[in-house]
Amino acid sequence: MSFVTRGFGGRSRDRDERLPPGQTLVHDFPVLSAGPTPEVDTAEWSFTIVTEAGTHRWSWDEFQALPAEDIATDIHCVTHWSKLGTSWRGVSLDTLFEDVESQFDYVMAHSFGGYTTNVPLDELLDGQAWIATEFDGEPLDPEHGGPARLLVPHLYFWKSAKWVRSLVMMPRDDPGFWEQNGYHIHGDPWQEERYW
Amino acid sequence: MDHLDGNALAGPLADYFTFDVTAATARCNGCGEVAEFARALVFTSPAGTVVRCATCEHVLATLVEAGERAWLGFSGVSAIEVRRA
Ligand SMILES: [Zn+2]
């Protein structure tokens, strides 16, 4: 018979190094929702990148024709859960930004349903972010942000906007929805950037 | 024109927030509807509580709580009416 007493003698040595401070492992996938789940028909779906010079637009079929990647990554929610080794498939933002030129350094992600979140452009490029359309080999459920969500796994998961529809370039790092209402402007889990 | 610093708000706000907020009415910035907070749609998630207009679903208010800290946001209302007894 054995038992484990949390926080008693040397437990910290056993702590998984993939877990940022203040996080606990989960095996399910808790859903956070600040509103009704938008039901977005792929026939009406489009994704846009908006710059000071104009709009780049992809229909669902055009988007499906882009080269996609498999992504294996850990995700960290600000509400203290982390999930390790999740599997996604999506289009890298490096691909989407290939022909996009802008003088602006910041991005506001906009979602169907009205949600917004801000991310600096240099944290979306160089293999750091995707527009994901599959989770665990299946099309992304509406409750997990389908048909497509932003995936920025090195930041807290509220930055990985569900139901994403556009990325709008902006000259300043303006705060998005949760960032205006108490959450951190940047959201690095390794620095515990949870709140203002 | 002279102004007071933010500390001067503490007294008055503490007074107003002793009222039952659910009975207070607010005007929605989205559609202009004036309604009691009790009629609004409230979405709770571990990240925070979001209060939406029952008429147009525009976000009226947010509440984020983290231990001793709490953030009350009223970005979606133009004004709140509080009835004084
Ligand atoms: Zn309204």
Domain that residue A118 falls in = 22-29+38-191
CA nearest neighbour of A78 among A176, A183, A196, A185: A183
A24 touching B (Cβ < 8 Å): no
Up-side HSE of residue B31: CA atoms within 13 Å toward CB? 12
Mean pLDDT along residues B45-73: 91
A178 touching B (Cβ < 8 Å): yes
pLDDT per residue over A115-128, tens digit each? 999 999 999 999 99
Of the pLDDT bands very low, low, confident and very high (cuts 50, 70, 90), residue A12 is low
Query: Is B45's CB within 8 Å of A195's CB?
Result: no
Sequence-distant (≥ 6) Cβ neighbours of residue B74 within 8 angstroms: B26, B60, B61, B80
Of the pLDDT bands very low, low, confident and very high (cuts 50, 70, 90), residue A8 is very low
Give the pLDDT score at A2.
44
Residue A181 lies in a domain: yes
Give the pLDDT score at A114.
92
Chain A CB contacts of B67 below 8 Å: none
Residue B43 Cα to ligand 1 midpoint, Å, equals 15
Of B43, B71, B75, the CB nearest to A35: B43
Of B57, B66, B71, the CB nearest to A181: B71
Residue A16 lies in a domain: no
Residue A13 lies in a domain: no
- Per the prediction, chain B carries an average pLDDT of 87
Residue A120 lies in a domain: yes
Q: Is the confidence at residue A39, as pLDDT, over 50?
A: yes
Of the pLDDT bands very low, low, confident and very high (cuts 50, 70, 90), residue A13 is low
Residue with structure tokens 């607010």?
A: B26
Q: Is the confidence at residue A7, as pLDDT, over 60?
A: no
Mean pLDDT along residues A40-61: 97
Chain B CB contacts of A183 below 8 Å: 47, 64
Given CA atoms A41, A42, A44, A49 in this order, what sign does their dihedral have?
A: positive
pLDDT per residue over A155-189, tens digit each? 999 999 999 999 999 999 999 999 999 999 999 99
Number of domains observed in the structure of chain A: 1
Judge contact between B47 and A178, C-beta under 8 A: yes
B60 CA to chain A: closest CA distance, Å? Answer: 12
Here the CATH number for the domain that contains residue A42 is 3.90.420.10
pLDDT per residue over A58-101, tens digit each? 999 999 999 999 999 999 999 999 999 999 999 999 999 999 99
Residue A168 lies in a domain: yes
Of the pLDDT bands very low, low, confident and very high (cuts 50, 70, 90), residue B8 is confident
Residue A139 lies in a domain: yes
B17 touching A (Cβ < 8 Å): no
Of the pLDDT bands very low, low, confident and very high (cuts 50, 70, 90), residue A35 is confident
Q: How far apart are CA A35 and CA A153, in angstroms?
A: 22
Query: Is B64's CB within 8 Å of A114's CB?
Result: no
Structure tokens at A99: 């022909």
Q: Is the confidence at residue A3, as pLDDT, over 50?
A: no
Mean pLDDT along residues B44-58: 90
Residue A166 lies in a domain: yes
Residue A84 lies in a domain: yes
By DSSP bridging, strand A130-135 and strand A81-92 are antiparallel
